[in-house]
Amino acid sequence: MSVRILALVGSLRAGSHNRQLAEAAVRHAPEGVEVIVFDGLAEVPFYNEDLDVVGQVPASATKLREAAASADAFLLFSPEYNGTMPAVLKNSIDWLSRPYGAGALSGKPVAVVGTAFGQYGGVWAQDDARKAAGIAGGVVLEDVKLSIPGSVTRFAELHPADDTEVVDGLVKTLASVAAKATPAAA
């Protein structure tokens, strides 16, 4: 039985290095681990309780919640925008935190990784994402971290999937997340 890890990428940019990092996680997932990158965060409206009404939840938010419900764990990829996580990633956490106490993140392992241009690789944003995911009910793996600095220069000509150090870090991260996950019955 495979452990399913849902990857949420906090950058919508076509050439996003964090998107490339998520692609590398898919490509190099260890045996028994399946990484699924969620497409569609750009279509999910900002969380609003007026929209979150049974029978009226926007289709894009329902799709996100269904993907999250079928996941055993989460891997959030966060760049750093103005010293914090991007709105699209925070918004996905907000949608997955509801209904209160029973959201799709509730009780499932969550790790946060990422890359950014700065010298610390986006650690402030990643710390904020960990905080939000934990408050939303996720079991944040505080000791599972991967922050890759200098993304613009490091990945100018090399895809993260071809960077040996990055791949090693991703494989270790995925193995740690998988070890904490309880696979759903098929």
Could you report the per-residue pLDDT of 41-76, keeping only the tens digit for each?
Answer: 999 999 999 999 999 999 999 999 999 999 999 999
pLDDT at 112 over 70: yes
Q: Mean per-residue pLDDT for 3-29?
A: 97
Mean pLDDT for the chain? 95
Structure tokens at 161: 């999937």
Q: Given the structure tokens 């990092």, which residue do they identify?
A: 21
Q: What average pLDDT does the segment 86-101 reach?
A: 95
Rounded to an integer, the average pLDDT of 96-124 is: 93
What is 3-180's CATH topology? Rossmann fold (3.40.50)
Which pLDDT value is given to residue 101? 83
Among 138, 149, 141, CA closest to 172:
141
Residue 30: per-residue pLDDT:
96
Phi-psi region of 175 (alpha: psi -120 to 50; beta: other; left: phi over 0): alpha
Give me the residue spans of the domains in the chain.
3-180
The answer to whether residues 28 and 161 touch, using CB atoms and an 8 Å cutoff, is yes
Kindly tell me if the per-residue pLDDT of 185 is higher than 60.
no
Question: Residue 1: is its pLDDT beyond 60?
Answer: yes
Q: Closest by alpha carbon to 79, among 54, 112, 57?
A: 112
Q: Which helix (H) or strand (E) holds 127?
A: helix 123-135
pLDDT at 119: 87
The answer to whether the CB of 114 falls within 8 A of the CB of 173 is no
Cβ atoms 97, 136 nearer than 8 A? yes
> How much is the pTM?
0.96
